[in-house]
Amino acid sequence: MLSPPNEPSSEEFDRAASSGPTGAVALCGIAVCIVVVIWLAFYFLAFLPRGFLQ
Amino acid sequence: MTAESVAARYETRWAVLMTAIIVFLLAIVVFTGLHWASMPPSRVEVIDATTLHLKGEFTENNLGVAVDAQGRITVHLLAEQYAFRPQCLVLPQGEPVTFRATSSDAVHGVLVTGTNINTMLVPGYVSTFVATLKELGEHSMPCHEFCGVGHAAMWARVRVVPKATFDQLVRTNRRPGCV
């Protein structure tokens, strides 16, 4: 099986990953915050003011 | 620390955070629902759809808005391909109104724009709920469940008027209507 000459070793890979996926966490965090804010805004500013059914 | 253990740690934290957010949103829904005693708009109450026009509360002369001796307001609404009967409801602002609705043929749905009124109308079942309308003026009331080729034309209206105007209409008409 062919492999690229510059493929990182297992140790290099672990060292690079040791600080955690901070970029992915930031991106997911922003996306989830947007969804939660939209949910809360719809629930409190649109759904509740329209009145409950009983 | 291996890349695999770092990934596992972050995945666990992310799962805990997402579970906490879901629990938080559900807690808001449960609290407000219990606090205002909100109910789903339908319950299981059966009626014979083949004799609606002959006997019972959905005969033609009983459809529309009625006020009983205690002042309680009830709407009897019949959905059929492709119209609601009556075509227009006059209701008072800020008063609780009991809706009782059913279908005589296909599965229909009803909603009133600008409100949370929204329920299915299934032949053989009565949909009942209580709603209080806040906004004065005309609201459209379309069928929201595809019921056949004429579905898109199946619209009715709700006219919300001040309580005094409604009371005046009730004094002069047994069934207050839009005309």
Contacts of A53 in chain B (CB under 8 A): 38-41, 116-117, 129-131
Q: What ipTM, to 2 d.p.?
A: 0.77
By the CB < 8 Å criterion, does B6 face chain A?
Answer: yes
> Is A15 a domain residue?
no
Q: Helix or strand or coil: residue B14?
A: helix
Helix (H) or strand (E) holding B27: helix B3-35
Q: Match domain B49-172 to its CATH number in 3.40.50.300, 2.60.40.420, 3.30.70.260, 2.60.120.10.
A: 2.60.40.420
- Tens digit of pLDDT for each residue in B10-33? 999 999 999 999 999 999 999 988
By the CB < 8 Å criterion, does B34 face chain A?
Answer: no
Interhelix angle B3-35/A22-42, nearest 10 degrees: 10
- Tens digit of pLDDT for each residue in B79-115? 999 999 999 999 999 999 999 999 999 999 999 998 8
Query: Minimal Cα–Cα distance from A21 to chain B, Å?
Result: 8
Q: Which residues form the domain of A38?
A: 22-54
> Is A51 a domain residue?
yes
Contacts of B28 in chain A (CB under 8 A): 40, 43
If you average pLDDT over residues A23-47, what whole number do you get?
94
Contacts of B130 in chain A (CB under 8 A): 53-54
Contacts of B104 (CB under 8 A, 6+ apart): B49, B52, B53, B58, B78, B79, B80, B123
Contacts of A28 in chain B (CB under 8 A): 14
Looking at residue A2, its pLDDT comes to 63
At B33, list the tokens: 């629902």
Contacts of A30 (CB under 8 A, 6+ apart): none
Mutate to test the interface with A, among B5, B6, B117 (most CBs of A within 10 A): B6
